Homo-oligomer: A and B are copies of this chain.
Amino acid sequence: MTERGAPSLIDVAREAGVSTATAGRALGGYGKVSQRTRERVADAASRLGYRTNGLARSMITGSTQTLGVLVSDVSNPFFATALRGITDVTQQAGFEVLLSNTGGDADAERRALAVMSEKRVDGVIVAPALPSDGAHLARAIELSVPVVQLDRLASGVPSADSVTIDNEHAVAEAVGHLLELGHRRIGVITEADGDIARLRSGNRKRGLLPSAVRLRGYFSALTEAGIPVDESLVGVARYDRESAYDATTRLLELTEPPTAMLCTDNVLASGAYRAAQDKGLRMPDDLSLIGFDDEPWTTLVRPGLTIVEQPTYELGAQAGRQLLDRIERGPGRARHVQLKAKLVARDSTAPPG
């Protein structure tokens, strides 16, 4: 947008009768300028309708005051809320946010990261689409673009900061709640793909989607309670409502259906809730259900949904703070912040009927 005849610092300097260096200092708030010339320059600038060219400035200062945010889908309430947390914190500090939707596609994420890097963002917050491969993130850090991971940890990026929730603990609490109520056949709806057997045996913290970490939490909570895991109670869905609906229906049609179910995510929970409704089940008598995330609908439905409440906004805000901090301090030992999620018991859970 270098429009025809947009005034430059040269024009302002001439109008004010000073050098461009002085004009720049007066307008940019750096260096020393006398009160008088500052005013004279300001007047000249406003007379000419001068706007600083941020591109030129950034090229010299090495800072664009711009941050990149990479998520799979802003229209997902989880990311929308986290994003609000990010922007509130970073705008406050004078940074703008460049947003990219990856659609959960690792290649799209790589490309977007490259573009942001060419645009010289000062740092990046990313919810890695494919946590198992963080090579592109590691490369960004090498090029001295600070990276903060949000909601999930990629493997192969030892030096990237992160903000996540304690998923294992959160799920343990949820399963514990159901166990206390007396449930023994507890199902789970999850988008975790891949090899369940390996997931059960493994114990790495990185490289997994939250759904997978939560699924593992489910396995270990049951195991610790001495309840053998029944894989027919694991309903794997794609990441959408419809698929969760189908997976739930399948579980409910088992000859020995679960008396309670846990969903590893809010999108899946809404599909599951609907499926239970359509099946004609009364919650919590016929089925206890636990979802994730405290969205408005969870208290609007009857019964109100028992959920694992994530501090979603705070997750984003914290990621923003960490990135600002990292930009200020420069490279260093990675800091991993883990926020607590907590169970909010409502009316969709009760002892098995």
Contacts and interface: CB of A to CB of B under 8 A. Distances in A.
Contact of A118 (B52, B143, B273): B52
A121 to B, nearest CB: 7
In which size bucket is the chain A interface? 35 or more
Interface in A39-78: 49, 51-56, 58-59, 62-64, 66, 73-77
Nearest to A58: B55
Interface in A83-110: 83-84, 87-88, 91, 96-101
Contact of A117 (B51, B118, B122, B300): B51
A3 interface: yes
Contacts of A295: 297
Interface string A259-295: 0000000000010011001000000000000000001
Given A53-B118, A54-B115, A270-B297, 4 more contacts: A88-B101, A99-B99, A297-B297, A297-B300
Interface string A214-249: 000000000000000000000000000100000000
The interface centre, meaning the residue of A58, A112, A274, A313 with most chain B CB atoms within 10 A of its CB, is A58
A296 interface: yes
Given A1-B120, A143-B3, A97 B98 contact: yes
Interface of A: 1-4, 6, 49, 51-56, 58-59, 62-64, 66, 73-77, 80-81, 83-84, 87-88, 91, 96-101, 112, 114-122, 143-145, 241, 270, 273-274, 277, 295-297, 299-302, 313
